[in-house]
Amino acid sequence: MIWESWDAFWKMGGYGLYVWGSFGMTLICIAGEIWLVRRHRLQTWQRLKRMKEWEPK
């Protein structure tokens, strides 16, 4: 372990804001994109299914 304590880990030698601000935003972006692609897929599926069901036979 290169860190003396968890506190030292979170402080990042005084660069905590910048390091966690960077990694945090990356995490938000990735989580957001995963949520969006899954929602897009589900919405496309449901819309196409409805369109198919409403077609005149």
Per CB under 8 A, residues contacting another protein are 1-3, 9, 12-15, 17-19, 21-23, 25-26, 29-30, 33-34, 36-38, 40-42, 44-46, 48-49, 51-52
| Smallest separation (angstroms) from another protein to the CB of 40 | 5
What is the length of the chain?
57
How many CB atoms neighbour CB 35 within 10 A? 10
Least distance to another protein from the beta carbon of 38, Å?
A: 7
Q: Which two tokens stand for residue 23?
A: 């990694």
Instruction: Compare residues 1 and 5 and give the one whose CB is closer to another protein.
Output: 1
Q: Report yes or no: 12 and 20 within 8 Å, Cβ to Cβ.
A: yes
